[in-house]
Amino acid sequence: MHHKRDKFFKHEDFEFMMELTLGATYYRGADIGECLSTAARIKDGDAESWFEQWKATGDRIAGIAREAEAASHMISARDAWLRSATYYDTATFFLDSTDDPGRMRPTWELHRAAWEGFARSRDPAIEPLAIPYEGTELEGYLFRVDAGDEPRPLLILNNGSDGPVSAMWLQGAAAALDRGYNCLTFDGPGQGAALWRQGLYFRPDWEAVIEPVVDFALGLECVDSERVALHGVSQAGYWVPRAVAFEKRIAAAIADPGVWDVGTSWFAHIPGSMKKQLETGEREKFNRNMDWGTRFSKATRGSLDFRMRPYGKETPFDVYQALADYTLDGIAERIECPILITDPDNEQFWPGESKKLHDAVSTPAEKKALVAFSEAEGADSHCEPRALGLRDQRVFDWLDTILAST
């Protein structure tokens, strides 16, 4: 794919995660030397080695954060906590392919504790939120430009299928605060605390999640109710368009990238005969074939387990069946609000879907944007991991312009 560039790993998923982690350095979510020295200790393609080395780096930097905080060196504490949060999250990515996937939850808790260290060390502090949702509450965070209650435009940040809350700082909040936006993020069903602590799972009708989040946001004094925007990353490139098809209080939406059919990335790797079994409801046969296909590869099995977990379904057949509902067929044309959709070269999960979504929405031509990110700029691949600065410049210049006219 990137034939001109030296790679850190031959293993494609290791390489993509390494690019994400290196990209985090733009907003101090990692440090280059820490990334390179960790990568140098990792055995390519070895999931146990990946976990051990990133976890060790996370532990080391968390130790620095604790010492700095105890000595009231709050800037040092803030920066170390954020880096540590990134490294702990990076460590978890291939745990399902190791002999002990049970380390996932405890390592996630270490990540979350590091994130909370960052949140309290920042000035003004990032405030934890409890957002009412269907008889329970979703954990969230409020990022303020300053300590005052002056109403400002609000950017709601919607994470993807497996992103950590710290990614919402790196992929939107840091850039937005610089530009005078307050921000809010939350763990929706199947994400972060909602998954690990509450046992809530993904749902396709994401408007049922965004509506209570917007209700909550509009109750905050620091929010300009006419200028609430919604930014979705990765799989939220489906959830955000889906939500704004129904939730009309959103002044502008961003999908990075556009996702028409979540199932695309799942169906790319299964043979036609198994697709037939899904159509004809042959549950046992499908599951048996899936089991056979993953039996000889711990990595493939682990990847499937990792991706299935947030859906809360018993077997692969059940997840593949559920994916039929995660599509914008018949929904996209209901979208009328201003929308920007990123369209990176070498999109590896949902190729071509950004343009399909852009062309299908009912938003007036001058209020919708399909924004290319090229390999030549170093800005290609899913969610532009190596080009956060360029991505934010293009996204926020558009958003500033749109909201100035509301």
Confidence of residue 269 (pLDDT cuts 50, 70, 90): confident
Domain that holds residue 46: 12-119
- pLDDT at 15 exceeding the cut of 60: yes
What CATH number is associated with residue 334? 3.40.50.1820
Does residue 58 share a domain with residue 28? yes
pLDDT digits (tens, 9 = 90+) for 34-68: 999 999 999 999 999 999 999 999 999 999 999 99
Look over the chain and give the mean of its residue pLDDT values, rounded to a whole number: 96
For residue 374, being part of any structural domain is answered with: yes
User: Residues 309-354: pLDDT tens digits?
Assistant: 999 999 999 999 999 999 999 999 999 999 999 999 999 999 999 9
Question: What average pLDDT score do residues 113-142 get?
Answer: 98
Assigned domain for 6 exists: no
Q: Which of 228, 97, 48, 256 is nearest to 172 (CA)?
A: 256
Verify that 249 and 291 share a domain, yes or no: no
Helix (H) or strand (E) holding 226: strand 223-233
Residue 1 reports pLDDT greater than 70: no
Q: Which two tokens stand for residue 49?
A: 């080695």
**Domain termination site, one of 80, 101, 119:** 119
Whether 203 and 196 have beta carbons less than 8 Å apart is answered as no
Query: Do 301 and 155 share a domain, yes or no?
Result: no
| Gap between the Cα atoms of 41 and 17, Å rounded | 15
Which of 54, 85, 119 is the last residue before a domain boundary?
Answer: 119
Residue 391 lies in a domain: yes
Neighbours of 233 (CB within 10 A): 26
**CATH number for the domain harbouring residue 114:** 1.20.1440.110
Same domain, 178 and 236: yes
Nearest-10 Cα torsion for 380, 383, 384, 389: 150
pLDDT reading at 133 higher than 90: yes
Number of domains in the chain: 3
Determine the distance from the C-alpha atom of residue 249 to the mean position of all C-alpha atoms in its chain, rounded to a whole number.
23
- Residue 4's pLDDT is 53
Q: Within its chain, how far is the Cα of 77 from the centroid?
A: 25
Over the stretch 158-211, which tens digit does the pLDDT of each residue have?
999 999 999 999 999 999 999 999 999 999 999 999 999 999 999 999 999 999
Residues 131 and 241 in one domain: yes
Q: What is the pTM of this model?
A: 0.96
**38 assigned to some structural domain:** yes
Is residue 291 included in any domain, yes or no? yes
> In this structure, are 20 and 156 located in the same domain?
no
Task: Give the type of residue at 367.
Answer: K
Query: Does residue 7 fall inside a structural domain?
Result: no
- DSSP helix, strand, coil percent of the chain (3-state; round to 5): 50, 15, 35
Does the residue 244 lie in any domain?
yes
Tokens of 124: 């003004």
Which helix H or strand E contains 275, and what residues bound it? Answer: helix 272-279
Residues 315, 356, single domain; the answer is no
What is the structure's pLDDT at 285? 96
Residues 22 and 90 in one domain: yes
Model pLDDT, residue 88? 98
Residue 356 CB-density burial (10 A; 0-12 exposed, 13-18 middle, 19+ buried): middle
3-state secondary structure of 381: coil
Determine the Cα–Cα distance for residues 170 and 256; give it in Å rounded to an integer. Answer: 14
Is 302 in the same domain as 350?
no
Is residue 318 located within the same domain as residue 348? no
Is there a domain that residue 84 lies in?
yes
Statement to judge: residues 135 and 258 lie in one domain: yes
Say yes or no: 289 and 355 in one domain. no
- Among candidate residues 294, 324, 354, the one where a domain is terminated: 324
